[in-house]
Structures are given as C-alpha cells and as structure tokens.
Chain A
C-alpha cells in the first residue's frame, strides 16, 4: 500500500464480505425451501428470501467495486484520494440504505420490480452515495496521472450510476416498464459492469505479472470495445417476448451470441499475461482468483448465456431453470470471483502483512467454484426437463416441478458446499495468520 487513503478500501471490503455471508446463507435457506416448501412459508415466504438473496448480492458486489476503485485509483493516479471523509460518508449512506432495505424486506416494506425492490428512499440514497463516489474518484483521477485503467473504470462506474436512474422510472404500461427495466439490469451486468471487471483484471495483471503497461492497456481497450459493441445491442435478447418488435429476435440473437467474445478475450488476456510474466508475485491466491474469474465468467456468462440466447431456443427455455443456471454461474464467475480476486490481492497490503493463508484461500476457490459448477449443472438438467415437459409437451407448471425434486436436492447440497467454501475464504482473510507452507522461488523483479 503506497497511499494512506487506500485504507478506505478495507472498510468497503469488510462490509461487502459481511453481505456476501448474508447472501449465501439466505441462498441456502431458499434452496432448502425448494426441497421443503412449508419451511418458513408464513414467517419469511420465498419472495422475501429471494429479495434478500439477490439484493445482498448486488449491494456487496457494488461495495466491492467501490472498494476496488478506492484501492486502485490512488496507485494508478499516483495521488491520495480527493477526500477520505467523503469516502466514509458514502459508505455510511450505503450501509444505512442496505440495512434499511434488508430489515424492511423482512417486515414487507419494499417495492416490487425484480432486483429494484428497494424503497424509494433507499434508491435515492444509492444515487446520493454514487454521486459522492463519482465526485470523489473523478476529482482524484483529474488531479493525478491518467491511465487507461482508471479511464475505463470511471466510464464503467459512471455508466452504473447513469443507468441506475432508469430504476426511478416505472410506467404503468408493463411492456414499456420492462423495456427500460433492462436498461438497468442488462446494461449493468452485460455492459458497464464488464468495464469495471476488465479494468480491475487489467490492474491485477499489471501488478502481478509485470507485463508492460502499454500491452495491458491495449488489451483492456480491445476487451471493453468488444463488451459494448456486443452488449449494447445484445440487450435485444431480452426484447423477444415482452411486446417489443420482432426485429429484436435477429438483432438480439446475433449480438448476444457475440457477447461471448469479450469473455473469451478476457481468458486470452489473463492467461497470456501470466505466461509472459516478468515477475513472480508472491500472492498466488490472487492470481488463481483472477484467472478463475476469467474462465468461470467465460463459461457462466459466455457459454451458458449463448446456450439459450438464440431466439429459436429461447422461445422454449425463457424463464425456466436454464435461466437460473446461467444466472448463478455468470454472477459467480464474473463478479463474485472478481471481487474475491481483488480482495485477496489487496487485503495483505491493507492489513500490512505478507500474503497469508494462501493454501486455504486457494482451496476455498476450488471448493466454491466446483460447487457453483455443480449447482449450474443440476439447474441446467432441471431446466432441460422443465423445458421439455412444460414448453414442448405442455404439462402444468406445478406438475412439472414435482418431476424436478432430485435436481433441487442436489442443488441444495452444492449450495451448502458453497457456504463452506465462503467460510473458508472468510477464514483465510480474517482468521489468524500461520507461517506459509508453500516455498517460492526468488522474484525476477520486485513485486508491487
């Protein structure tokens, strides 16, 4: 850690990881409700559980992005953060908003559009928090060195804030509502979030491989160009069946098929940089998470997305467990892994230690990743069965669900393993430090 103000990131990461624990815990409870549907059915019905699961995910990922920005922007800009106080004020506003939302949901205080259930005051709090953040980070970048990494990161973060404004627009025409709802949801996760992801991966590669900045930043621009060239019109794959014109079936199929390209480019990028590395960075766990992030995002977002994105396929699979399978691995691969990668990298510096508990941390990667992969397979099988019985043969929804019990049981099992993996990760970060077991070669170049 070269700049005192980077310390801000520590608070963001701690809150983010606390919410991560909430997210996976509620996820397991919801998975259990699939198996034993009477459990909690009056106290905390499934709709409340799911809001808690998805909202805590989104908020902790965003807090992780903010923390990552506060960590890497000073190093990139070679200057302290404009205002540390504002950064903590922003965190306080977001924490109050998040706690208010979580407690409110339990007492049935919420709005009702998927993922945007936050009450209006929380939404406005998020906007205020985002504005403080953008002001703070933009001021920092403006007074310091400008790099492609901060540039792309800032465009991504500004995009997040701008597209979130569409959450405040809720027309009475459902089709219009849905169309702009995707301006938040799709243009976030398949648009501007990818910019944040690519920028953070580029930062990690820069620090850990020692490859030339020129090379890394060229890759970065190429990747994010692919992201937006495909992702913007790729929104069309959500405009097939909601009352929008039929031309989206062609536009959506073509461009969203190409959405696999930026993720493939991220795999090529990270592996190429590691092969060409000019230094041996001591933090192997962070490197594993970064490479794992690119690979799992390619499969979860890329391959599993492509699987049901062509309109002829999507006509049958839309809104089945196939979608759930894709959603789980895409979020885990792209954004959960990204956050865990930057946290694994930054935490030793933030806590003033050598990279520590690496074996446990790497083990947690394999446990969580395999469990998420297993969960994705079971939900995919469930989705295929559901698609055939319900969408091809026309059997009733509940009747079909009864046929899928085995898959839901397997999913619950994999969910439990994810929680174990998450606890291992948290222990590796916050638990006591033991002497390292792994012997490493000497570094060719000094690590940053």
Chain B
C-alpha cells in the first residue's frame, strides 16, 4: 500500500490534512475560550485582588516548585485547591489567615524538609494571593483533583 503512495500524494495529504486539523483545533479552542470565560470560570469575578495575586504568583515563580491545576514542578503541593484544603469553602476568613500565616512563617529551617523561601510579601500582596487561590478553587475543573490532598 505504501508503495502505491507517491511522494506528491503524501505531500498533498500532509498539507491538506494538517490545515484541516489546524482549523478544527482553532475552532474548538475558540469555543473553549468562550466556554471558559462564560461558564467554567464565571462563578467568581476576576477582581483587582485576583489580578494582583496572579502577578505575585508569577513574580516569585511559584510554578517552579508547586503545581497549579496539575501543571508545574511537582516539588511542592498542588495549589489549585489549596483554599479548599484550608477550609476556605466553609470559612473563607479563617483559611485566608492560615494561608497568610503560613507564607509569613517560611522557611521552616527543619532539617531534611523541603524549604519554601521567604518572599517578604506585603499585606496587600498576601491578600491578593489568597484572592487568586480562592478564585482558582472555584474553576470548574471536571472534579479534578480526585482528593482534597491535591
């Protein structure tokens, strides 16, 4: 069968097929974009705090130790649902204080335990970060992760 295929036929299949699949892919992502904005992330508004929190998250390259919705560095816990893990779905104020206190207490200096650096965040930045975690925890992720442990 492969012998019957000519080089120019193979080339045309490559061009035509790739273009078709690219168009399908781009249309589906366009629909997904619309779905994300209007459905799966629509439960909570993107406030200034969330925007600041995402900026803080990126500024300190948190993704290169932690994972966020499963993507990142696998060296430290998943944080997509950290707000829920600290009970934020039931008592948001207490979860906020616990996360902020945790951030301030780093590093632990415990021998043999992975160390998180001290990032010296301002009160505003800490609140923004928690706003960001709270917002992320409300994304409809098709029930991922399977356990609250992340």
Is A78 at the interface (CB under 8 A from chain B)?
Answer: no
Is B124 at the interface (CB under 8 A from chain A)?
Answer: no
- Interface residue ranges of B67-126 to A (CB < 8 Å): 67-78, 107, 109, 111-117
Is A248 at the interface (CB under 8 A from chain B)?
Answer: yes
Contact for A243 among B2, B72, B111, B141, CB less than 8 A: B141
- Looking across the interface, which residue of chain A has its beta carbon closest to that of B59? A112
Contact for A218 among B5, B64, B72, CB less than 8 A: B5
Q: How far is the CB of B22 from chain A (nearest CB, A)?
A: 6
Instruction: Decide: B147 and A179 in contact? CB cutoff 8 A.
Output: no
- Looking across the interface, which residue of chain B has its beta carbon closest to that of A39? B115
With a cutoff of 8 Å between Cβ atoms, the chain A residues found around residue B111 in the complex are 38
Instruction: Decide: A175 and B139 in contact? CB cutoff 8 A.
Output: yes
- Interface residue ranges of A19-52 to B (CB < 8 Å): 34, 36-38, 41-42, 45-48, 50-51
Instruction: Decide: B41 and A173 in contact? CB cutoff 8 A.
Output: yes
Instruction: Decide: A37 and B112 in contact? CB cutoff 8 A.
Output: yes
Instruction: Decide: A47 and B40 in contact? CB cutoff 8 A.
Output: no
Contact for B64 among A46, A175, A243, A248, CB less than 8 A: A46
With a cutoff of 8 Å between Cβ atoms, the chain B residues found around residue A242 in the complex are 69, 71, 139, 141
- Looking across the interface, which residue of chain A has its beta carbon closest to that of B75? A46
- Looking across the interface, which residue of chain A has its beta carbon closest to that of B14? A225
Contact A390/B72 with A46-B65, A245-B32, A398-B114 known, Cβ cut-off 8 Å:
no
Instruction: Decide: A218 and B139 in contact? CB cutoff 8 A.
Output: no
**CA A268 – CA B74 in complex, angstroms?**
35
**B residues in contact (CB < 8 Å) with A:** 2, 5-7, 10-11, 13-14, 17-18, 21-22, 24-25, 28-29, 31-33, 35-37, 40-41, 46, 50-51, 54, 57-65, 67-78, 107, 109, 111-117, 135-136, 139-142, 144-150
**CA A243 – CA B69 in complex, angstroms?**
9
**CA A324 – CA B67 in complex, angstroms?**
12
Is A433 at the interface (CB under 8 A from chain B)?
Answer: no
Q: How far is the CB of B111 from chain A (nearest CB, A)?
A: 6
Instruction: Decide: B5 and A173 in contact? CB cutoff 8 A.
Output: no
14 A-B interface contacts by CB (under 8 A): A42-B115, A46-B65, A47-B73, A113-B58, A114-B73, A174-B136, A183-B29, A222-B14, A246-B142, A319-B72, A320-B74, A321-B74, A324-B74, A394-B146
Is A209 at the interface (CB under 8 A from chain B)?
Answer: no
Instruction: Decide: B71 and A114 in contact? CB cutoff 8 A.
Output: yes
Is A271 at the interface (CB under 8 A from chain B)?
Answer: no
Contact A229/B63 with A41-B117, A241-B70, A324-B74 known, Cβ cut-off 8 Å:
no
With a cutoff of 8 Å between Cβ atoms, the chain A residues found around residue B77 in the complex are 397-398
**CA A42 – CA B106 in complex, angstroms?**
11
11 further A-B pairs in the complex, CB-CB below 8 A; given A47-B73, A232-B22, A391-B145: A111-B58, A170-B58, A172-B46, A176-B36, A179-B29, A179-B33, A218-B7, A241-B141, A244-B32, A245-B31, A393-B147
Is A62 at the interface (CB under 8 A from chain B)?
Answer: no
**CA A215 – CA B51 in complex, angstroms?**
55
Q: How far is the CB of A73 from chain B (nearest CB, A)?
A: 19
Q: How far is the CB of B116 from chain A (nearest CB, A)?
A: 8
With a cutoff of 8 Å between Cβ atoms, the chain B residues found around residue A330 in the complex are none
Instruction: Decide: B36 and A45 in contact? CB cutoff 8 A.
Output: no
- Interface residue ranges of A377-427 to B (CB < 8 Å): 390-398, 400-401
**CA A112 – CA B73 in complex, angstroms?**
12
Contact A229/B29 with A46-B65, A47-B61, A221-B10 known, Cβ cut-off 8 Å:
no
- Looking across the interface, which residue of chain A has its beta carbon closest to that of B7? A218
Instruction: Decide: B115 and A114 in contact? CB cutoff 8 A.
Output: no
Q: Which interface residue of A113, A244, A246, A247 has the most chain B CB atoms within 10 A?
A: A244
Instruction: Decide: A395 and B149 in contact? CB cutoff 8 A.
Output: yes
Q: How far is the CB of B42 from chain A (nearest CB, A)?
A: 10
Contact for A390 among B32, B37, B140, B147, CB less than 8 A: B147
Instruction: Decide: B148 and A394 in contact? CB cutoff 8 A.
Output: yes
**CA A179 – CA B35 in complex, angstroms?**
12
With a cutoff of 8 Å between Cβ atoms, the chain B residues found around residue A47 in the complex are 60-65, 73, 117
**CA A228 – CA B140 in complex, angstroms?**
29
With a cutoff of 8 Å between Cβ atoms, the chain B residues found around residue A318 in the complex are 70, 144-145
- Looking across the interface, which residue of chain B has its beta carbon closest to that of A230? B21
Instruction: Decide: B33 and A50 in contact? CB cutoff 8 A.
Output: no
Instruction: Decide: A391 and B146 in contact? CB cutoff 8 A.
Output: yes
Instruction: Decide: B63 and A113 in contact? CB cutoff 8 A.
Output: yes
**CA A324 – CA B75 in complex, angstroms?**
10
Instruction: Decide: A397 and B65 in contact? CB cutoff 8 A.
Output: no
With a cutoff of 8 Å between Cβ atoms, the chain A residues found around residue B145 in the complex are 241, 318, 391
- Looking across the interface, which residue of chain B has its beta carbon closest to that of A391? B146
Instruction: Decide: B70 and A221 in contact? CB cutoff 8 A.
Output: no
With a cutoff of 8 Å between Cβ atoms, the chain A residues found around residue B73 in the complex are 46-47, 50, 114
Instruction: Decide: B65 and A42 in contact? CB cutoff 8 A.
Output: no
With a cutoff of 8 Å between Cβ atoms, the chain B residues found around residue A228 in the complex are 14, 17-18, 21-22
Contact for B149 among A239, A251, A396, CB less than 8 A: A396
With a cutoff of 8 Å between Cβ atoms, the chain A residues found around residue B36 in the complex are 173, 175-176, 179, 243-244
Q: How far is the CB of B38 from chain A (nearest CB, A)?
A: 11
**CA A185 – CA B58 in complex, angstroms?**
17
Instruction: Decide: A41 and B107 in contact? CB cutoff 8 A.
Output: yes
**CA A228 – CA B13 in complex, angstroms?**
11
With a cutoff of 8 Å between Cβ atoms, the chain A residues found around residue B136 in the complex are 174
